[in-house]
Amino acid sequence: MGVDLGDLITKRKISFQEIMGKSIAIDAYNSLYQFLAIIRSQSGQPLMDRKGRVTSHLSGLLYRNSNLIELGIKPLYVFDGRPPVEKEIEIKRRRRVREEAVIKYEKALKEGDLAAARTYAQAAVTLKDELVEDAKRLLTLMGIPWVQAPSEGEAQAAFMVAKGDVWAVGSQDHDSLLFGAPRLIRNLTISGRRKLPGRNLYVEIAPEFIDLNETLKNLSITRMQLIDIGILVGTDFNPDGVKGIGPKKALSLIKEYGSLEKVLPLLKEASFPTPIEGIRKIFLNPEVTEDYSLEWRDPDLEGVKAFLCEERDFSVERVEKALNAILEARKRFDRKPSLTKWF
């Protein structure tokens, strides 16, 4: 779901040149769901190998990372761990949405409505354990570091950025700001366009840069108050938020009264599945680990080809092209004085 703060956040479009040489901790699950949803046939079928194993996520990881590294960006991935118990309601809601989408997908296929089938197939995406393990295996072979978070991946990414080990979080959601990420990059794709949900229309997109302190300063609030605004609007830990309260209304209330405790007596329909202090604690003191190593290496050319081409039926020519692009980028950036320690 992600917290809906887009109308409040101070953001600006940036070029890839502005983030050249920067390390970005990418929300792995966010990216994998995106690849599984988008990389599909017209009827909604994901890419698969001859044994029927899904490969859309592997295709997305290979080519997107090749493109990012060509641009001088240092990607790393953070995987979700065990979700907080407070997330159970949201997890069940997502499961219901997927189950309903599967039924609608099968119906659309029978009726020959391929456009609808593809839309429902995207909503029915499930990230199974074997797909996650595939992703980790490919990243390792590509020389791209990944970190296993003990709990929320965006919390772990925010922690690494705040600690100074990584420059920014890369995610479509704003949750990492509530977790204290100093910097967030959205739209980390070089496609330049994105399809509007449910419509055959595309919009031009560019990477967006968000600075947490700048946002807080422009809104004249603290991070604690931003968290309170998120709780009013709805987070993954209280997905319904408060009925009738959107981001701008939540901001107005928090700025006027100072805190969620002072606002709640004014809201007749406010109720939460768990104490608000518990939700705050998830954002302020999340479960994270310092047990990680961030090392970018040359890709294992033969290892990647053995995995993708021999096991998963990828084109040898296309895989070699992507891998060679990574190697050429490393040589090119290593020659630049300002990026001598890029990897």
- Measuring CA to CA, how many Å separate 183 from each of 242, 286, 314, 320, 339? 28, 18, 36, 34, 21
Does residue 40 contact residue 121 with C-beta atoms inside 8 Å? yes
Distance CA 249, CA 233 (A): 9
Are 214 and 248 part of one and the same domain? no
Are 212 and 258 part of one and the same domain? no
Are 187 and 280 part of one and the same domain? no
Domain limits for position 194: 1-219
**Has residue 6 been placed in a domain?**
yes
- The two tokens of residue 275 are 């104490």
pTM (predicted TM-score): 0.88
Sign of CA dihedral 27, 28, 29, 35: positive
Tally of domains in the chain: 2
Are 162 and 226 part of one and the same domain? no
Could you list the beta-strand ranges (E) of the chain: 11-13, 23-27, 74-79, 146-148, 168-170, 183-186, 193-195, 202-204, 208-211
Task: Please name which of 306, 236, 246 lies closest in space to residue 27, comparing C-alpha atoms.
Answer: 236
Tell me the Cα Rg of the chain: 21
Are 185 and 85 part of one and the same domain? yes
- The two tokens of residue 306 are 């053995």
β-bridge pairing 23-27 and 74-79? parallel
Place of tokens 């295709």: 59
Does residue 182 contact residue 165 with C-beta atoms inside 8 Å? no
- What pLDDT score does 339 carry? 47
Per-residue pLDDT of the chain (343 residues; tens, 9 = 90+): 677 898 899 999 999 899 999 999 999 999 999 999 889 887 788 999 999 999 999 999 999 999 999 999 999 999 999 998 888 888 888 889 888 888 888 888 888 888 888 888 888 888 899 999 999 999 999 999 999 999 999 999 999 999 999 999 999 899 999 999 999 999 987 556 555 555 556 667 789 999 999 999 999 999 999 999 999 999 999 888 888 899 999 999 999 999 999 998 888 777 777 788 999 999 999 999 999 999 999 999 999 999 999 999 999 999 999 999 999 998 887 765 554 454 4
**Has residue 20 been placed in a domain?**
yes
**Has residue 230 been placed in a domain?**
yes
Are 75 and 164 part of one and the same domain? yes
**Has residue 146 been placed in a domain?**
yes
- What pLDDT score does 340 carry? 44
Are 143 and 273 part of one and the same domain? no
- What pLDDT score does 194 carry? 58
